[in-house]
Amino acid sequence: MTQATPLAVGADAPNFTLKDQNNEEVELASFRGDKAVLLVFYPLAFTGICTGELTALRDNLDTYQNDHVQVLTVSVDSAYSHKIFSEREGYEFPLLSDFWPHGGVAQAYGAFFAEAGIANRATFLIDKTGVVRFSEMNGPGEGRDPAAWEAAIKEL
């Protein structure tokens, strides 16, 4: 298995435009100067660990998304899959589709697990100027601790 290397703290976050679960385009640069972005890559919708992590975001959304921070989640699933997933689970934050070019944004962030064609569990906190202030990555079967995200947000 080839281990990807996630984008490092201090790096400029690559801009992207992806479609959300409502088939609306979301551009990372649109938050620049206004809000930091908590960018959460996950392998696949409807899977146990992924659902658990996104549900933790949903249940504590005011901790991670507010006037200063926007949550954006990304997987290789289609926008149509994300629509059903978000409706079923009550996710009100953007679920972005990195479907085509397949995993292109995950690749730009060093978060793509090429052997499986999915994103690793990578999280980045991008400040208002577009600089990565927090970076972590776990493999597909390894859950993350959202307390680390909360701590990184508090440090902004």
Tracing tokens 């479907």 back to the chain, one arrives at 99
**Alpha carbon distances (Å) from 62 to 26, 93, 122:** 20, 11, 21
Q: Kindly state the tokens that stand for 42.
A: 């996950």
User: With b meaning 16 or more CB within 10 Å and e meaning fewer, what string describes 88-125?
Assistant: eeebebbbbbbbeeebbbbbebbbbbeeeebbbbbbbb
3-class DSSP assignment, residue 100: coil
Contact 119, 76 (CB under 8 A): yes
Q: Does 50 participate in catalysis according to the annotation? A: yes
Distance CA 56, CA 19 (A): 23
Cβ–Cβ contacts within 10 Å for residue 155, how many? 9
Selecting among 18, 44, 50, 111, the annotated active-site residue is 50
Catalytic residue ranges: 50
